[in-house]
Each structure stands twice: as C-alpha cells, then as structure tokens.
C-alpha cells in the first residue's frame, strides 16, 4: 500500500511561518508530481502549490510570494514553506501525489490525511 504522511501543521499568529512536509512510501516506481491542496468547511478543495518531475512549479495566486514548494526526490518528500501567514490561509492542508506504481507502472492519485493550519491572533 502506498501512503502519504503529512506533518507540520499547527496554530500560528498572523505573519508567522509554518513548514509542512509530506512523505510518500510504498511500492513506488516514480513520482510524477506532488502538491498541496487546502479546504475549508463548505468550500471545494483548492490547489495551493504543485511541483512535477523536471522542476515545473505552480502556485495559487493567493499564495505567490509567500509560500514555497520544494521536493526531495531521494526521500519521496514534498515540503511547503509558508511565510507571512494570513487568517485566510486557515484550512486543512492535504498532500497530493501522482505516483506510478512499481509493478503495474500505472499512474494513480494519492492523498495525505490532512493537517490543520490555523492562523489567528
């Protein structure tokens, strides 16, 4: 079984910083892309940042200049450095990975368990 395990969420005051991490494990052949989504009650899950093999990166307009996504391929881990946090960043953050399985060589989407980020004074 392939799984994604997230960590790094918590409570922070406006203007503060948090760093999220997400590690993938299991029978992985390769990871084409990893990213972060977030969701608040009553709203659809939205893309925050994503990175694919080859280095292409994209961010939601609302986080450009404040968030940085990075990836450690050797550890199958993706990070999200969040700076200058705002109350509107409060959400459950979910890790996402597009993974090619080791034996079948098929592409599947996997999700982390979610980690709560709360920005409040």
Query: Tokens representing 36?
Result: 């972060």
37-89, pLDDT tens digit by residue?
999 998 999 999 999 988 899 999 999 999 999 999 999 999 999 999 999 99
pLDDT at 11: 98
**Biggest CA pair distance of the chain:** 49
Burial of 54 (0-12, 13-18, 19+ CB in 10 A): exposed
Residue 11's beta-bridge partner residues?
A: 118
Query: Tokens representing 48?
Result: 């925050």
Phi, psi of 63 (to 5 degrees): -115, -5
Measured between alpha carbons, how far is 22 from 8 in angstroms, rounded to an integer? 9
pLDDT at 53: 85
Residue 108's beta-bridge partner residues?
A: 99
Task: Return the ∠ at Cα 35 (arms to 30 and 40), rounded to 5°.
Answer: 145
Measured between alpha carbons, how far is 23 from 5 in angstroms, rounded to an integer? 5
Nearest to 110 by CA among 51, 32, 44: 32
Q: Is the predicted pLDDT of residue 27 greater than 90, yes or no? A: yes
């Amino acid at each position: 079984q392939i799984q994604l395990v997230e960590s790094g969420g918590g409570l922070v005051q406006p203007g503060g910083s948090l760093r999220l991490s997400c590690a993938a494990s299991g029978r992985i052949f390769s990871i084409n892309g990893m990213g972060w989504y977030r969701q608040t009650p009553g709203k659809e899950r939205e893309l925050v940042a994503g990175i694919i093999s080859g280095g292409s990166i994209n961010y939601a307009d609302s986080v450009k200049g404040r968030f940085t996504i990075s990836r450690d391929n050797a550890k199958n881990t993706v990070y999200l450095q969040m700076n200058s946090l705002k109350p509107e960043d409060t959400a459950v953050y979910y890790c996402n990975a597009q993974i090619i399985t080791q034996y079948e060589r098929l592409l599947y989407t996997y999700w982390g368990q979610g980690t709560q980020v709360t920005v409040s004074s």
